[in-house]
Structure 1
Amino acid sequence: MANVLRKEYASFREFYPVYLNEHANRACRELHFTGSTLAIFCLGVLLLSGNLWWLAGAFGCGYGFSWIGHFVFAKNQPVTLRHPIYSFMADWLMYWQMLTGQASF
């Protein structure tokens, strides 16, 4: 896994299969999905209320659930810190694919 964290990727297309491999654990994927869903909810409440604490809630849910999935269930480290843009893009692509049935929970 250390190679995954240190490797540079030429494109998102090259990165995404590696990202999916890091999320092979079902509980990790489910926690990602739950955290992302709660983050969307928090952002919606932020827009409706104007209360910036909901922004903190969005980050806490999005990253908190995901990182618990990695450290507790998948037993690997999130690639977020090494590849933040690709990781963010991949998280939402995986979310969409799970939501639309293109990827399993």
Structure 2
Amino acid sequence: MTVKITHYAEFWPYYLREHSKTKCRQLHYIGTTLALLSLLAAFAFMMPWLILLAVVAGYGPAWIAHFFVEKNRPATFTYPFWSLYSDFRMYFYWLSGKLPEELRKAGI
């Protein structure tokens, strides 16, 4: 039986370990970028249906990465809010160049 994580401080290193392969993270970055662009377009052009596209564009590449690259179960199925927050955290750490240090601390 797997122990349920109860504190975000424990979840973050777990999340990073679930994204240990570069290709997995790259697919996440593609999905997050597409989701953010879809959300911006939804508000800029007042097209609410693009919000649905943002969800599909964000989760699609990420789940493909987990099932076919990492070969693990997406953490979002168990920890939906922490996973969403962590996806953006990982994305912005990557953009800022701070992700390698976080990966090192998580043992990757």
Q: Could you state the TM-score of these two structures normalised by the residue count of structure 1?
A: 0.89
1:65 is aligned, of 61, 65, 72, to 61
Q: Matches of residues 1-105 of structure 1 in structure 2 within 5 Å?
A: 3=2, 7-104=3-100
Structure 2: runs of 5 or more not aligned: 101-108
Q: Which runs of 4+ in 1 moved over 2 A?
A: none
Structure 2: distance between partners of 1:82 and 1:41: 26
Structure 1: distance between partners of 2:14 and 2:79: 12
Structure 2: distance between partners of 1:38 and 1:81: 21
Structure 1: runs of 5 or more not aligned: none
What letter corresponds to residue 43 of structure 1 in structure 2?
L
**What is the percent sequence identity of the aligned residues?**
36
**CA RMSD, Structure 1 to Structure 2 (Å):** 1.2
What SS is found at the alignment partner of 2:75? coil
Deviations, residues 20-71 of structure 1 (Å, cap 9, x unaligned): 0000011110000110011000000000111122111100111001001101
Structure 2: distance between partners of 1:76 and 1:9: 17
Structure 1: distance between partners of 2:6 and 2:71: 26
What letter corresponds to residue 57 of structure 1 in structure 2?
L
What letter corresponds to residue 87 of structure 1 in structure 2?
S
Q: Could you state the TM-score of these two structures normalised by the residue count of structure 2?
A: 0.87
